Structure 1
């Protein structure tokens, strides 16, 4: 009887070790799930998990807290260097802005000197009722009434006005040269002749013919000139009066700032 009992005990193996082993596998599985979750969540979820584990294990330095490898002094020095670099960049940017503002100011002063020269010419030739100037951010604008240069409805410059155009061309000689835009304008009365189908065509041809006469001055660079025609679409006065229509029929010379000349 005792021999049979002993044999039965030998056949029965102690399986108590399976319990901690199963617990260990469960913990490993949970760890892998946590690691996988961490790899696919955003920073906010990561921080929330870190706080939860810290609270669970009653404080201490969490394995998710990555301390800086630099000392506080090194961090302070790094901050100072960052501030110095930023300050240097700001100073360089301020210098560029200051230089640009100074350049624009000098450019406007040069245009003002050209305007004074043109105004002196207008006074000497007693052309104040036919020519006028204005200075703005777009440049120096010289406006010439069409009755100085053309017969009504014509784009051919009057022979007696060739001298005026030649003298104006002398005023446009600059070193270094600037971009100059010639534009033609009309009133709103429809054109009624066989040469032009619209005021637009008339205004374009007037600006081109005027520019051709200017460029007979060999001191001017043709590359710096361009011509435009606006028809009746950019009036400077009301077309309801005779005086307003006379002001709208004009050729304009725009002497541009050097910044515009460089960009073009």
Structure 2
């Protein structure tokens, strides 16, 4: 009778599937250390190349460097938004330099507008004013609209186009278009009050400006103030004519807070002390 050999049960093989995620994790950690090392390096050119490589490899749509800051010898460097605010030798411009540059740009734009106004005999219909907060272009309503209407006259549309062509030299500025009326009430099916009339006029003028493809609509806004922000508070026909207007404001990006407060204070004092004729 043959002797049966009893086989000892073999121990099951250990599950080694954990090695795959572990190896992926180690690869990512290695990549992280490479990124950290590169970020601490002074050579920003290589860092940008590395950023592009990672962005392309992972293709998640947004690079981790898009909003990150670069560190050089323990000092936080500027974001990419500040790169354009540098001098030719690579040094960052001070706020005073930026304010001075902006002042020169706005003065140049004002000069161009004034030359256009003079050349076309529009001194009685348009004027410009440069102050601490904006370059303000004021256009009388009779230069743009028929009485009681928000439709821009066909012959006046070229005025809006010309203004847009001059503004396109500085596309980074915020532009605010405001409509103003006199204190005479209006009550029509289209315009139940001066609020609607002034708002529609501002929007229609802004639309013509935005026909220029050089502009970013995100930087434009329009609003109507009705009769509530007059430049002349008297009740004469001349005053009402001044108050009916469209204003285009090119807003400064760099302002002096102290100057702004002083300007507001002086303006308030002047308004309080003004005697209406």
RMSD of equivalent CA atoms: 1.5
Q: How many residues align?
A: 163
The TM-score normalised by the length of structure 2 is 0.56
- In structure 2, distance between residues paired with 1:239 and 1:214: 32
- In structure 2, distance between residues paired with 1:176 and 1:198: 34
Matched with 1:56 is none
Residue 144 (str. 1) matches residue 144 (str. 2):
no
- In structure 1, distance between residues paired with 2:234 and 2:169: 36
Quote the offset at 1:194 in angstroms: 1.9
Structure 1 consecutive aligned stretches of length 4 or more whose deviation exceeds 6 Å: none
1:85-124 to 2 correspondences below 5 Å? 99-124=94-119
Quote the offset at 1:258 in angstroms: 2.2
2:219 to 197, 209, 224: 224
Deviations 1:191-218 (A, max 9, x none): 1322111111111010001111111111
1:238 to 225, 233, 237: 233
Larger radius of gyration: 1
- In structure 1, distance between residues paired with 2:223 and 2:121: 28
Structure 2 stretches lacking a partner, 5+ long: 1-92, 256-277
The TM-score normalised by the length of structure 1 is 0.59
- In structure 1, distance between residues paired with 2:254 and 2:202: 24
Quote the offset at 1:259 in angstroms: 3.2
- In structure 2, distance between residues paired with 1:204 and 1:210: 10
Which secondary structure does the structure 2 equivalent of 1:178 belong to?
coil
- In structure 2, distance between residues paired with 1:125 and 1:223: 31
Structure 1 stretches lacking a partner, 5+ long: 1-97
Matched with 1:252 is 247
Quote the offset at 1:99 in angstroms: 2.2
Going from structure 1 to structure 2, the CA distance change for 1:188 and 1:239 (only over 3 Å counts) comes to: farther
Say if 1:188 and 1:239, in contact at 8 Å, map to a contact too.
no
Matched with 1:172 is 167
Matched with 2:86 is none
Quote the offset at 1:233 in angstroms: 0.8
Say if 1:119 and 1:133, in contact at 8 Å, map to a contact too.
yes
Say if 2:171 and 2:215, in contact at 8 Å, map to a contact too.
no
- In structure 1, distance between residues paired with 2:254 and 2:174: 10
1:48-59 to 2 correspondences below 5 Å? none
Matched with 2:158 is 163
Which secondary structure does the structure 2 equivalent of 1:167 belong to?
helix
Matched with 1:20 is none
- In structure 2, distance between residues paired with 1:222 and 1:199: 26
Quote the offset at 1:113 in angstroms: 0.9
Quote the offset at 1:176 in angstroms: 4.7
